[in-house]
Structure 1
Amino acid sequence: MADTPKTILLVEDDPDHEVLTVRALRKSNIVNDILVARDGEEAIRLLFGEGEETLQAVPQLILLDLKLPKIDGLEVLRRIRESDKTGMLPVVILTSSDEESDIVRSYRLGVNSYIRKPVNFTEFAEATRQLGMYWLVLNECPPSAN
């Protein structure tokens, strides 16, 4: 099981932010597979759906935007935490929102970390590098529920 590739699920509707996040992770030598869901509904389908659209294994890390079409990030987080399959997965909110209510609700729903996206690419790349190093290299994840 240790040889199973560790996947990152990036839930991001903004194509520019998606490209920047993936680029920053790659520049930081994060070689994990990165799967992208472009709205909350797609994220739910990948995590809990059936058939070909469902992930074969739970991701090692979920990077979740809050302001998503169809189903917002807070609802995605709530569903992740309710499931035995995904309840202990590391979830990092990566958003442009600095609204106090979003921060409080995220932590009440069990987010592991809340990171506001820096506007400057250099700062964004450094923040992404640090979160990748921490969550994918240093952090010990719970055993998979699969």
Structure 2
Amino acid sequence: MSNDRTRRTTPAQILLVEDNPGDVRLTEEALAEGRIENDLHVVTDGVEALEFLERRGEHADAPRPDLVLLDLNLPRKNGDEVLEVMNDDPDLQRIPVIVLTSSKAEEDVISSYELCANAYLTKPVDPTEFIETIRAFEQFWLSIVRLPPEERP
């Protein structure tokens, strides 16, 4: 019996919405060293995230992400606003969103899940723990979970 879960025919498309260059670098490092082939796309604010997701402007040729790693504390549009737009758009609401933020505030956790985030991860301060968190995310979301197709059957 083959294991379809661990076999991808194309690289996973990941959209990282993060304005902290250090966290971007750590995420890139963790995903580059992982076992799952992926293309990481990085945008630094909520407005650019929506342009990427909606394939507008300079992101007109952007691939549809298999999942989104979303910080909450972003310039121009925050993570909650991005989640609201995604949740209201039938084409975007099926893309899994994992909130990856420094906030441990219970109200942020509740708000994220109310806005249909699929998971909420608090960024560890320690760089080694941060990389371990990203690797655990990668293992679970890209090899165990079955992600939805781009188009409805």
Is TM-score (shorter-chain normalized) higher than 0.5? yes
- Measured against aligned partners, the alpha-carbon deviations of 1:75-122 in whole angstroms (never above 9, x if no partner) come to 101111111111111100000001111110000000000000001111
Q: What amino acid does structure 2 have at the position aligned with 1:43?
A: A
Cα distance 1:98–1:137, how it changes in 2: closer, same or farther (>3 A)?
same
Indicate yes or no: 2:131 matched with 1:128: no
- Indicate the residue corresponding to 1:117 in structure 2: 123
Aligned equivalent of 1:70, options 60, 71, 76: 76
Matched, 1:100 2:106: yes
> Letter of the aligned partner of 1:134 in structure 2?
F
1:82 match: 88
**Aligned mates of 2:111, 2:61 — CA distance in 1:** 27
Q: State the 1:49 CA deviation.
A: 4.1
So what's the TM-score if we normalise by structure 2? 0.88
Runs of 4+ in 1 over 6 A off after TM superposition: none
1:42 matched to which residue of 2?
48
Q: Deviations over 1:40-87 (max 9, x none)?
A: 010011111435413543101100000000000111011111111111
Q: Greater CA deviation, 120-129 or 10-19? A: 120-129
- Is the CA contact (8 Å cut-off) linking 1:7 and 1:33 kept in structure 2? yes
Identity, % of aligned pairs?
42
Distance 1:133 1:28 in 2: 8
Q: Supply the distance in 2 between the matched residues of 1:102 and 1:54 (Cα, whole angstroms).
A: 31
Structure 1 regions of 5+ residues with no counterpart?
none
Normalised to the residue count of structure 1, the TM-score between the two structures is: 0.92
Find the residue that maps to 1:145 and give its secondary structure: coil
| 1:30 alignment partner, one of 16, 22, 36 | 36
Give 1 or 2 for the bigger CA radius of gyration. Answer: 2
The 1:82/1:55 distance shift into structure 2, 3 A limit, reads farther
